[in-house]
Amino acid sequence: MDELIEAAREVQGRAHVPYSDYTVGAALRTADGSVYVGCNIENANYSNSLHAEEVAVAEAVKEGHREFDALAVSSGARDGVTPCGMCRQTLAEFCDDDLPVVCDEGDDRTEYTLGQLLPNTITEEMLE
């Protein structure tokens, strides 16, 4: 898990955050062990900023990955930032409830499952 947190920290260096100055990095490990990362990319209209987790999911999915086994999230503040509601739903599209979500607190970390962060999720099956 250290490696995943390190990847989430590192990608923050490429965040585009002229408005909030709050960098976020996410690192998503696929079932076959590769790691895809994303950072937040803000926009002058304020509302359509890309979140780090969304970018990481997009990077992985566009390379053909659909199965994931862990996510690490880190902010420059090392404040244990968790994925926002929108990102939780984006993750739930591809990940099971038991996906570990590791949130960086500097020397410490808190680990949740996706199911803890987003219980009773709407899923594809419900739309059948």
What's the closest the beta carbon of residue 5 comes to ligand THU, in angstroms?
16
- Would you say 24 or 37 has its CB closer to ligand THU? 24
Q: Binding ligand THU by CB under 6 A: which of 58, 61, 70, 84?
A: 84
**Listed ranges 62-70, 79-87, 94-102, 115-123: which one lies at the site for ligand THU (CB under 6 A):** 79-87
Task: Tell me which of 8, 28, 57, 87 binds ligand THU, using CB under 6 A.
Answer: 87
Q: Which listed residue (11, 24, 40, 51) binds Zn ion by CB under 5 A?
A: 51
Burial of 37 (0-12, 13-18, 19+ CB in 10 A): buried
What three-state secondary structure class fits 3? helix
User: Which string of DSSP letters, residue by residue, matches 83-120?
Assistant: --HHHHHHHHTTS-TT-EEEEEETTEEEEEEHHHHS-S
* Rounded-to-integer distance, Cα 50 and Cα 63, Å: 19
Backbone angles phi, psi at 117, to 5 degrees: -75, -30
Instruction: State yes or no: is 111 an active-site residue.
Output: no
27: closest CA among 41, 57, 7, 12? 7
Piece of the chain touching ligand THU by CB under 6 A; list 19-27, 95-103, 109-117, 118-126: 19-27
- Write out the residues near ligand THU by the rule CB under 6 A: 17, 20, 22, 24, 40, 42, 49, 51-53, 83-84, 87
- Write out the residues near Zn ion by the rule CB under 5 A: 51, 84, 86-87
